Structure 1
Amino acid sequence: MALTKNLFNVPNNLNANHPIEVSGRARDDVKLMVLDSLTGRTIHQKFHDLVSFIKAGDVLVLNNSRTIPSVLKGKQGKRDIEVRLSRRVTNDSWEVLIVGGLYASDKQIDFSNGITACIEGEGSELPLLMIRFSVSGQRLYEMFYQYGEPIRYEYIETPWPLDAYQTVYASVPGSVEMPSAGRAFTWKLINQLKRKGVSVVFLQLHAGLSYYGNDHWPVPSHHPESYNIPEETARIINDAKKKGNRIIAVGTTVVRTIETVADQCGFVQSGEGITTLYIKKGTPLKCVDGLVTGMHEPEASHLDLLSTLIEKEKLMSAYREAIQKEYLWHEFGDMNLIIPMENNQ
């Protein structure tokens, strides 16, 4: 799947299993590896030093999608069922993963408070299924928030509250997993960037499931996600492109969104839609110049996207260096800025 499989291994002790705030430190005190996309040179800092590497006139684009509690416990007869939401399709229909794959396609699923769901068929790819709930809209979301839990993978030992899976600027509910590249931002850091003359703008891409279990990851080209780009965000990005300033995405979700709507000159249009864009080595990036992202496991397709910003050999060398310096992986882990540092202030 990913082009980097078996080129590096992440030791178990480098899987971040708790938010940094638990140890009394600020979110932006995680490590930051700055990676020059031109030379492969690395600089090791703290995330709050990001302001030193972003120039006045640059545009920082963040995903303000808010994480919802997407793990639901239900029953089919006497059998317990765990349903993980993946993508909202209509007001009452979702693509979901039934953990373990044990279910009866002809029996309804009973959830709390009398709400039920029926399985209507396969989702956009296996093992996802399409289910229809007996309620819709606000009432359905109320059930999610009252009875649901955040997704917690095996490296997370403690059931942290939903707030631990939010960025500080998250405002539009819809992601089933946190757009985690933005987790290290604090309002203090965002305001420092603005005072320097950096434009900070927002869009939404509601992130779906990134892992199906049993060493099964989504096929990126079969992984639709919904997005929305406000008019002001498009205008500020386009003005910056006209002036030759850099567009820096916070997260692969932002890269996917921007590149979905960018024309051949790198200008973007506002609007909403569904993207199935798969960005990999050889895919030209028309708008995005740099990326703030987390540390990605070797099987993740995110690394294919990173290879459009920097040569694979340079990326792998930097990742092996990060392992030596004990960077932490996953949503509570450390961060990586990939950017051309020529003439960078």
Structure 2
Amino acid sequence: MKVKDFYFDLPKELIAQHPLEKRDESRLMVLNKKSGEVEHKVFKDIIEYLNPGDCLVLNDTRVMPARLYGAKEGSGGKMEFLLLNRHEDDIWETLVKPGKRGKVGAKFVFGNGELKAEVVEVLDNGNRKVKFYYDGIFEEVLDRLGEMPLPPYIEEKLEDRERYQTVYSKEVGSAAAPTAGLHFTDELLQAIKKKGINIAFVTLHVGLGTFRPVKAEEIQDHEMHSEYYILDKENAEIINNAKRSGKRVIAVGTTSNRTLESIANEEGQVKEQSGYTSIFIYPGYKFKIVDAIITNFHLPESTLIMLISAFSTREIVMNAYKIAVENKYRFFSFGDAMFIHE
């Protein structure tokens, strides 16, 4: 199957540049994955489609203010750092711009000098390993000096950082938000629990690879990025109980989906574990545990639209996207949502 099979024409004005005032008043397209039937709703209507005993699986990762702007010691040349993965002893894998200033041994200063950095290694992929120096707690320093690493297609400045976090975010470590979860409010989650729907949490720290374009012509030639996940014993049991009871496991977002499908065995059961996943789900994949998906509207030719096409069919999903464009749904991170079920 070719990557171009997942192309659709998206008018730029449909790319949402800011979140709605109320999270749960985004639009919701409800798609039957077998028939292709479409309903148009508002996100808070999702509760109508959830049944007592179902298990909603949320990704509780929290986005780091991972973009730093510094100056090179000596020359004062400006440098942008994007923190990707933490290694040992305050060494981070980072994306740097401009790369020519990021030579081994180069030193940089941030803010009023409370944070300093030195490039210690150039990696094969062009990223740098950078060692940071500071007093106190790194996360607190980062919170003062860093900016939210919004995706490249969002050109407007975000006034409230928390709008690029889910209301249940907890485990700091992502370079991007699990955006399907941005539609939930505390009130909606309470109403969902009150109806008898179980909620379980996984953690998958979203990497910038989620925005990396697929450059191969054939889908199977694409190399998927790797991301760190965690599932603890308590949440594994909540998920397994739903499966054993014949109830649905509903993944909120492609990140929760990839985590569950990475961990589940052939019987659709999960167990406590952590590790890295580079699972690439595209049409032909047989889902082991996920019964329904809540997701946003994704980029043309992205691995994300391939994943949801695998959950239904390419033809049904591409037709649903055509309907979304015709009905002026808002796309991408701050856009509207889709519920795919049968």
TM-score (norm 1): 0.89
Is the 8 Å Cα contact of residues 230 and 270 (structure 1) preserved in structure 2?
yes
Q: Does 1:244 align with 2:281?
A: no
* SS state at 1:318 partner: helix
Cα distance in 2 for residues equivalent to 1:303 and 1:6: 7
Shift of 1:179: 1.1
Match of 1:41 among 37, 40, 46: 37
Q: Whole-Å Cα distance in 2 between the matches of residues 161 and 59 of structure 1?
A: 31
Q: Where does the alignment leave 5 or more consecutive residues of structure 2 unmatched?
A: none
The one-letter amino acid paired with 1:69 is P
Superposed CA deviations along residues 75-132 of structure 1, whole A, max 9, x for unmatched, are 3343211111222233522222123544342232413224213141316xx3433333
Count, aligned residues: 332
* Structural mapping, 1:60-99, within 5 Å: 60-76=56-72, 77-99=75-97
Q: How has the CA–CA distance of structure 1 residues 133 and 217 changed in structure 2, closer, same or farther, with 3 Å as cutoff?
A: farther
CA distance in 2, matches of 1:197, 1:170: 22
Counterpart of 1:151 in structure 2: which amino acid? P
Structure 1 gap ranges (5+): 341-345
| Partner secondary structure for residue 168 of structure 1 | coil
Query: Partners of 1:111 and 1:252 in 2: how far apart?
Result: 37
User: Which residue does the alignment assign to 1:11?
Assistant: 11
CA distance in 1 between counterparts of 2:158 and 2:320 reads 32
Alignment of 1:234 with 2:230, yes or no, is no
Query: Identity of counterpart residues, as a percentage?
Result: 33
Measured at CA, do residues 166 and 104 of structure 1 come closer, stay the same or move farther in structure 2, by a change above 3 Å? closer
Assess if the C-alpha contact under 8 Å between 1:61 and 1:247 holds in 2: yes
Contact 2:3/2:214 (<8 A) preserved? no
Q: Quote the residue 1:115 is aligned against.
A: 116
Instruction: State how far apart, in whole Å, the 1-side matches of 2:279 and 2:87 are.
Output: 18
After superposition, the CA RMSD in angstroms is: 2.4
Distance 2:215 2:57 in 1: 26
AA of the residue aligned to 1:121: V
Alignment of 1:179-190 (within 5 A): 179-190=178-189
Please, what TM-score do these two structures have when normalized by structure 2?
Answer: 0.90
Distance 1:190 1:160, change over 3 A: same
**Deviation (angstroms), 1:273:** 1.4
Mapped to 2, the partners of 1:68 and 1:128 lie a distance apart of 18
Question: 2:229 touches 2:276 (CA, 8 Å); kept in 1?
Answer: yes
- Answer whether contact 1:203 1:254 (CA < 8 A) is retained: yes
1:281-322 alpha-carbon deviations (Å, 9 max, x no partner): 222211111111111010321111112210000000000100
AA aligned opposite 1:224: S
For 1:265, which of 245, 264, 267 is the aligned residue? 267
- 1:331, CA displacement in angstroms? 1.4
| Paired residue type of 2:314 | K
1:141-160 correspondence to structure 2 within 5 Å: 141-152=139-150, 153-160=152-159
**Structure 2: distance between partners of 1:217 and 1:75:** 33
Cα pair 1:2 1:301 within 8 Å, conserved: no
* Whole-angstrom distance in 2 between the partners of 1:325 and 1:105: 49
| Aligned partners of 2:214 and 2:222 also within 8 Å | no
Amino acid aligned to 1:111: V
Please give the per-residue CA displacement for 1:206-261, whole angstroms capped at 9, x wherever unaligned.
11114678x67899744221111121110011111112111100011101111111
SS in 2 for 1:313: helix
CA distance in 2, matches of 1:228, 1:195: 27
CA contact (8 A) 2:67 2:81 kept: yes
Q: How do 1:1-345 residues align onto structure 2 when only pairs under 5 Å count?
A: 3=3, 7-21=7-21, 26-76=22-72, 77-112=75-110, 113-122=114-123, 126-134=125-133, 139-152=137-150, 153-210=152-209, 221-340=223-342
CA contact (8 A) 2:18 2:158 kept: no
